[in-house]
């Protein structure tokens, strides 16, 4: 699941790549170069930039809003890796780190909130579980905005 989130970040940040995800055969691959990835492969973040936003007070929301329309028009999925913020642009990708246990996740801003004084970020239930926040309710988190580093030419095109 984490691999898919990293791929999502690359796509949202503007990387354009073509993958034939439905082809699992060892034969012809419709002109695409075959790639083998080891289960022990480590992600390469060299083309991703992290901009410090700072510390925020985060809470989470879930069951009561599941299936309802978010501020950007999507249907809210409480288990998706998303968050609400009052002013950050929709589609912003954030790296959120729980300061108590060091766990980090990537989330996408798709809603507005929180609307409780003293809170800066409202996380989906899935995000809260991944960060170990679900039972605490409210915690301090380190927030970084994620963007494609356009100063590097580390994007490879496949022939």
Q: Where are the domains of the chain?
A: 48-148
Structure confidence at residue 37 (pLDDT): 63
Instruction: Write down the pLDDT at residue 120.
Output: 97
The answer to whether 146 and 94 have CB atoms below 8 angstroms apart is: yes
pLDDT beyond 60 at 25: no
Residue 14 clears pLDDT 90, i.e. is over it: no
pLDDT per residue as tens digits for the range 59-114: 998 888 999 999 999 999 999 999 999 999 999 999 999 999 999 999 999 999 99
Rg (CA), the chain: 18
pLDDT digits (tens, 9 = 90+) for 37-70: 677 777 666 688 899 999 999 999 888 899 999 9
Measure Cα distances from 125 to 42, 77, 150, 155, 158 in Å: 27, 9, 33, 33, 38
User: How many Å apart are CA 109 and CA 93, to the nearest integer?
Assistant: 7
Full-model pTM: 0.66
* Residue 17 confidence (pLDDT) above 80: no
CATH number of 48-148: 2.40.40.10
């Amino acid at each position: 699941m984490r691999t898919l989130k990293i791929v999502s970040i690359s796509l949202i940040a503007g990387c354009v790549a073509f993958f034939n995800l439905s082809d699992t055969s060892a034969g012809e691959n419709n002109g695409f170069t075959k790639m083998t990835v080891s289960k022990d492969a480590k992600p390469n973040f060299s083309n991703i930039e992290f901009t410090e936003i700072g510390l925020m007070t985060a809470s989470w929301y879930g069951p009561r809003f599941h299936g309802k329309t978010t501020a950007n028009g999507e249907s809210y999925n409480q288990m998706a890796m998303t968050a609400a913020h009052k002013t950050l642009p929709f589609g912003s990708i954030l790296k959120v780190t729980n300061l108590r246990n060091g766990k980090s996740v990537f989330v996408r801003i798709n809603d507005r909130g929180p609307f409780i004084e003293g809170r800066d970020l409202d996380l989906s239930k899935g995000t809260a579980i991944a960060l170990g926040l679900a039972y605490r309710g409210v915690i301090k988190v380190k927030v970084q905005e994620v963007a494609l580093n356009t100063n590097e030419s580390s994007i490879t095109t496949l022939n």
